Structure 1
Amino acid sequence: MAAVIRGGDGENHHVMVEDMQRAYQFALRWRVSGDTNFADAAVKYMDAWSSTLTSLWGNSDRYLAAGLYGYQWALAGELMRSYSGWSSSGLLALQNMLLTHFYPKCHTFLITHNDANITNYWANWDLISICGIAFMGVFCKRKDIYDEALNYYYQGRGNGAADHSVYCIHPGHLGQWQEQARDNGHSTLGIALNALICELAWQQGDDLYGYRNNRFLAGAEYVAKCQLTDSSNNSTIPFSLYINRQGTFTEASTSGRPNNRAAWEAVYNHYVNRKGLSAPNVTTIAANLRPETNEWVGDVPSFGTLTFSLPSVTAAVAPSGLRAYVTDAAVLLSWWGSALATTYVVQRSTSANGAFTDIASLGSTDLLTYTDTPGAGTWYYRVCTIYNSQTLVGTDRARVQLASELRLNLSLNQTSGTSATDSTSYARHGSLQGGATWTTGRSGNALALNGSNGYLSLPTGLVEDLGDCTIAMWVYWNSAVTNTRIFDFGNSDIAYMCLIPKDSGGVMRFSVTGTTYFGEQTIAHAAALPVGSWTHVAVTLKGKLGTLYVNGVSVGSNAAVDLAPFQLGSTRQNWLGRSQYSADPYFNGKMQDVRIYSGALSASEVAALAV
């Protein structure tokens, strides 16, 4: 057909879907059997479409067609690239068809999101376009296009980017999948697409699988767990409040559960057989569905057991990916285990080099998390794998201090220069940007921000390891302007934590979100920040309890703040005086004595800072 339509009047894309599947499956049968009859059949379908198609259209679903069918045409073409019976002009024609009719729509969608609010589209929409772009980039030998897909996966604004598709990490490295708030069919589609992207990248030498401590595995384990749980019992699935353009969601969806999409072999074989990691939920669902068969609707290429299977893991590995956060004045530990482990031993020490003492033992089927309450002090943790007679000691050492520890200390009393010195051992020095200068302060000098382009930039990853925390500083506001920022730490207008001296409702508030302003979890004051005087402001988070202080006095609290700073990841845009939203005004005033603590200071400790 010359014109293919998906969505709206005249929809006819099913004809292309069936021929696309034929091309892929004939190509696969040729690669397995060597029988050129299958190769010739694959070439017939690819040449017929590349010589005929002149338009790919429809309603918003045209973007789905471009990504889903674009990546599968590219996959079929890549399988056939080495076949001598396929002419060079035929290969070039298929590349041109993809670059002319498929790639531009994928590219446009990731930029415009069909001119809708970016949170309007769930993760699979982005992943479909990312998948299409990545596969077309490889098949068409366009590294710039392939890099575009990877860059979006790492740093994109939409819900398909890795930092957003896994909305937050629960204990035991269970990663809440963004679309699990919607339904199970689309969640499993997201897993299937993400796996294809990661495997394609792995074959090019890029490890998307391992990004942010195996973030994709965390999401896959979560979605697999949802499919393995009876639809009448949702209580064992952790869920963090999720709010986006589509609405408010308070639990994992049971709609369409279980969904038995052929999505799991690539995930299982990489993490378990290639890396030796424990992935119990993925392992179980992959075994339940093996062998993966044909999915006729055309979303995934099917037959994953054939194409992704690797030799079974034979050696146990030491625990990895150990993370420790202070949460509600306790130490929350999570780690990745070994596919062959029988037991895990959690150990604690007062020194990074030991001696370590056993504090807990967990079985191989337990959720790999442990909460410790050792009391005040500096503590180091490691985890060991026990397999038969072997003890494999994890190389990770997680350091935690109970109670508070000063992580950033900017006096901001310098007289010159464009660097603001952090006096802690972390050396997270700030950089003056735009019209930021030095001026007379509350005592000594202070940072002066001009309200037009001046701000202070702080290093990447400023809050990435913080659970319980305190952020405190002295500020002097020259004039009240709505929606300026005292601080704003994030990656974009999607995920951030900020303190606003006066919002559109006329009050000061702290907010944290992973879904733009729709999902802000807020601690609000009853009034705006005072103008024309030095004021001490502070925010503390302890577990889910957030408290806002002005001049050492609590002025607001919220007991349901469940996005701790570490959930935002390694934030790149950590600013004093500037907003993640480009249209918001810059802060006009002065700042001094900026402090960030690991741990929530008590009310009396905050009051002491305000003297």
Structure 2
Amino acid sequence: MNSRNDPGTNLSRRTFLHSLGALALSACGGGESSPASTAVSRASARDASSTITLSHVANGATDISISGAFVHPGLLHTQADFDRMAQKVAAQASPWYDGWQVLIANGYTNLSRSPRPQVEVDRGGSGPQNYPLLYADIAAAYGCALRWKISGDTVYADKAVQIMNAWSSTLQRLGGDSNVDLAAGIYGYEFANAGEIMRSYPGWAAADFAAFQSMMINIFYPINVDFLNRHNNTDITHYWANWDLCNMASIMAIGVLCDDHRLFDQAANYFIDGAGNGAIAQAVYYLHPGYLGQWQETGRDQGHNTLGIALGGAICEMAWNQGIDLYGYDNNRFLAGAEYVAKANLVQPDGTFLTVPYVTYTNVDVTQPGFSTASQGTIRPCWALVYNHYVNRKGLAAPWSTKFAQAIQPEGGGGNYGTASGGFDQLGYGTLTCTRDAVTPAAAPTGLTAYPSAGQVVLSWWGVANSTSYNVKRAAASGGPYTTIASSITDPLTYTDSPSSGTWYYVVSAQTSTGETANSAEAAAVTAVQLHTCLTFDEASGTNAADATGNAHTGTLVGGASRVTGKVANAVSLDGSTGYVSLANNIVADVSDFTIAAWVNWSGGNAWARIFDFGAGTGRYLFLTPKSSAGIMCFSITTNGGYGSRNVNGNTALPTGQWAHVAVTLSGTTATLYLNGNAIGSATDVIFAPWRVGPTAQNWIGRSQYPADPFFKGAIDEFRIYRNALSADQITALVQAA
């Protein structure tokens, strides 16, 4: 078993509607068609100057490809942004003018400052650490660029150009130890932003601008892309999220600076679906109720945790200015992370901190069982950007980011952030550059999700900017009539309902100073056991395996897969070499509590064959193996590779040469493994449900996500997936019905 811990020894992801099926213990027929799920767009075009092409890629996510002319300037700031800043500063309007005063008082924008370019810049290692010379000059160039764009005074433009020309004519390489990856990432995106602002200045000679572009793409970019591709040949979970994020930010910024769509696409797609911890699905490691998104470095320290928001926000803003909505991707997943980090680090009037929920995080190096208070209260100049996008652009509620932004304004920059800290890891000046006039608040709460958990229904939603509280309403039929079941909800925006068994429909409204808003879009949850997929393999020929529920979850026989006499009628026979059954993309992406059951006749063989394995590669999956390296049946589910998996180990291997019934259930955080109707293992810490695994396009019966694992050899019949957990008696009934 390669590249993971041995599990034998050791929503929401998206807005969705839980679809309907019919429970059938003795036969697979009788299912109803599933209603379509409600999905959040992964990216949306916002600017007519850009053409965005979306296509599905191998792991089930969406591929971003942007073509047409880039917007210039179009990284952290557009021309419209500079026009707004100039107008507000000229009018001495607060808080923009307050931010301007901080900018002009910063010594890094002093015209007497001389650049100090180096042939080689080193970060880490045993040699001299001269990287502060680079980041100081970047801060100076950026600050002077802002002063020119806002005031029109060309002496600051000339100073910015002088600094950039000095570096582009001198710098030949970045060096040091692995920390050079941080230097190339952080200073790469920052320097590219300074260059992007200045590209329209007539006093910057075309040849000099080209030399600056050449420096960025030939010295910074190769280190950025090599890191994302190789991670220095370490396990993919080894590096913290910020290492990925800074290199993504640099690649994206250099792509726009150099009009290279390929680079921009690389960064945007890695943010959506990269394997490393900086991709948003891993960076926001776990969504707690109320969309509090536990950031990946939460168990490490809060200095690094807050840096993740600064870097992630920069990526989202640069993408937004080119027509890609990474802010809104996956139901505002970045906002979930920002709200969690803001709430955990904002000092209360009494000097204390609020608590946030936490689940244990594990990677190849560490297990972190609790929230780290190290550096708690770290203040970085990143909150104005988050607050202004979600509240003043989108009209959503972001209460903790809002409080943080307002508490620390005006944000400085260039190593002098006023009330903020954080060295030179971010450019700063967010109060000046990001503040926007408020827009009309959203008309209703958005992003409502409802998922079953141990018979209850957990609801979460995004709020309205001017709301004071929220009402939760439930109906027994889609479209109502709705009955209010909870009111006066303030924080967090979540409610847990305990309805009877059935299918329930929910909406949420907001109370504002002027009355009640419209209802949110409807979300539904099934608390009854309902059949989701049933493959009988009873076809006489062909490669299709029909879904007897009518839900169109058809399987496809691949390679050495054929039909033989089964436990009930026909079964699929897998040759242990190339044979497996491929199921539909995202087969369980809208499933929470579940039961997966089948009749299995295993011919035996090496450990780690799969009865089923649904996933998106070796980082995100759920599987059942007939025998682990410990010699026992094992169920495993993870969103962070083998090191972060939650496992249920049986007390025996699957018998060979005979038909045996296997099942695994999940109810809340309790998973149970059954063999021939008897529970053979259970675990109460299984915090991951299938919907948390995310998009999957490698959903297989008889094949593993890990290429080195053996294919299953034997036969499988009556493969079933249910919504919700069957009881022990219902599992027994399945066994007896065959």
With the shorter chain as reference, the TM-score category is over 0.9
Residue deviations 1:270-302, cap 9 Å, x none?
111111111111111111111111252321111
Corresponding residue for 1:244? Answer: 363
1:395: Cα distance to partner? Answer: 4.1
Residue deviations 1:107-141, cap 9 Å, x none?
01111111111111010011011111111111110
- 1:228 pairs with 2:346: yes
Q: Is the 8 A contact 1:350 1:379 kept in 2?
A: yes
Q: Which whole-Å CA distance do the structure 1 matches of 2:612 and 2:695 have between them?
A: 16
- 1:277 pairs with 2:396: yes
Aligned-partner residue type, residue 480 of structure 2: G
Task: Say which of 459, 466, 469 aligns to 1:343.
Answer: 469
1:76: Cα distance to partner? Answer: 0.7
- 1:300 pairs with 2:426: yes
1:238: Cα distance to partner? Answer: 0.7
Q: Which whole-Å CA distance do the structure 2 matches of 1:420 and 1:92 have between them?
A: 58
Corresponding residue for 2:498? Answer: 373
Task: Say which of 696, 712, 724 aligns to 1:571.
Answer: 696
Corresponding residue for 2:169? Answer: 51
1:229: Cα distance to partner? Answer: 6.0
1:99: Cα distance to partner? Answer: 1.1
Corresponding residue for 1:309? Answer: 435
Written as runs of structure 1 = structure 2, the 5 A alignment for 1:376-395 is 376-395=501-520
Q: Which whole-Å CA distance do the structure 2 matches of 1:388 and 1:425 have between them?
A: 48
1:432: Cα distance to partner? Answer: 2.6
Partner SS state of residue 120, structure 1:
coil
1:460: Cα distance to partner? Answer: 2.5
CA 1:307–1:503 in 2, change beyond 3 Å: closer, same or farther?
same
Residue deviations 1:468-526, cap 9 Å, x none?
21111111212222111111122221121111111111111111122211122111111
Written as runs of structure 1 = structure 2, the 5 A alignment for 1:59-78 is 59-78=177-196
CA 1:224–1:146 in 2, change beyond 3 Å: closer, same or farther?
same
Task: Say which of 216, 229, 241 aligns to 1:123.
Answer: 241
Q: Is the 8 A contact 1:474 1:537 kept in 2?
A: yes
Q: Is the 8 A contact 1:21 1:301 kept in 2?
A: yes
Partner SS state of residue 518, structure 1:
helix
Q: Is the 8 A contact 1:123 1:179 kept in 2?
A: yes
CA 1:566–1:513 in 2, change beyond 3 Å: closer, same or farther?
same
TM-score norm. by structure 2 comes to: 0.81
Corresponding residue for 2:286? Answer: 168
Corresponding residue for 1:534? Answer: 659
Partner SS state of residue 600, structure 2:
strand
Task: Say which of 472, 488, 503 aligns to 2:597.
Answer: 472
- How many percent identity over aligned positions? 48
Q: Which whole-Å CA distance do the structure 2 matches of 1:36 and 1:232 have between them?
A: 45
More off after superposition, 248-257 vs 387-396: 387-396
Count of residues paired in the alignment = 610
Corresponding residue for 2:613? Answer: 488
1:232: Cα distance to partner? Answer: 9.9
Q: Is the 8 A contact 1:410 1:420 kept in 2?
A: yes
Corresponding residue for 1:39? Answer: 157
1:316: Cα distance to partner? Answer: 4.4
Q: Which whole-Å CA distance do the structure 1 matches of 2:551 and 2:317 have between them?
A: 37
Corresponding residue for 1:4? Answer: 121
Q: Which whole-Å CA distance do the structure 1 matches of 2:582 and 2:130 have between them?
A: 52
CA 1:232–1:529 in 2, change beyond 3 Å: closer, same or farther?
farther
CA 1:235–1:48 in 2, change beyond 3 Å: closer, same or farther?
closer
Aligned-partner residue type, residue 333 of structure 1: L
Residue deviations 1:62-91, cap 9 Å, x none?
111111111111101110111111111111
Residue deviations 1:359-381, cap 9 Å, x none?
11034x32111111110121111
More off after superposition, 485-494 vs 218-227: 485-494
Written as runs of structure 1 = structure 2, the 5 A alignment for 1:317-356 is 317-356=443-482
CA 1:442–1:117 in 2, change beyond 3 Å: closer, same or farther?
same
Corresponding residue for 1:606? Answer: 731
1:464: Cα distance to partner? Answer: 2.3
Q: Which whole-Å CA distance do the structure 1 matches of 2:434 and 2:714 have between them?
A: 58
Aligned-partner residue type, residue 18 of structure 1: A
Q: Is the 8 A contact 1:277 1:317 kept in 2?
A: no
More off after superposition, 423-432 vs 189-198: 423-432
Q: Which whole-Å CA distance do the structure 1 matches of 2:512 and 2:242 have between them?
A: 38
Corresponding residue for 1:587? Answer: 712
Q: Which has the higher contact order (CA 8 A, sep 6+)?
A: 2
TM-score norm. by structure 1 comes to: 0.97
Q: Which whole-Å CA distance do the structure 2 matches of 1:313 and 1:411 have between them?
A: 55
Corresponding residue for 1:194? Answer: 312
Task: Say which of 516, 524, 528 aligns to 1:399.
Answer: 524
Query: Mind listing any 5+ residue stretches in structure 1 that lack a counterpart?
Result: none
Q: Which whole-Å CA distance do the structure 1 matches of 2:701 and 2:488 have between them?
A: 44
Corresponding residue for 1:357? Answer: 483
Corresponding residue for 2:21? Answer: none
